[in-house]
Amino acid sequence: QVQLVESGGGLVQAGGSLRLSCAASGSIFGINAMGWYRQAPGKQRELVATITTRGRTNHADSVKGRFTISRDNTKNAAYLEMNSLKPEDTAVYYCNAKLFTSNMQFDEIWGQGTQVTVSS
């Protein structure tokens, strides 16, 4: 069984920074894209950023220039560096991975979520 474990959320003042981490574990053959999504209260889950195996990234317009996604393929891990945080960034952040398990089945896995709260 494959799982994603996130860490790094918390409470920060506007203008501050946080770094989220996500690590995949279990019977993994290989991970394709990894990404971060977020869901604020009363809103739908939205894309924050994604990154391919080769490091090609895509960031939502709302976070461009402030957030940076990266990954370490040797650790099956992804990271989200968040700078210049705004109150509207407050949400539960979820890690996502599209991968092949060790028995070559494609799967899409979500982490349990980590809360990010930005105070004004």
Which tens digit of pLDDT belongs to each residue from 68-107? 999 999 999 999 999 999 999 999 999 999 999 999 899 9
Task: Kindly provide the residue ranges of all beta strands, DSSP E only, lying in 52-105, ordered along the sequence.
Answer: 57-59, 67-72, 77-82, 91-101
Banded pLDDT at 109 (limits 50, 70, 90): very high
Residue-wise pLDDT for 33-64, tens only, equals: 999 999 999 999 999 999 999 999 999 999 99
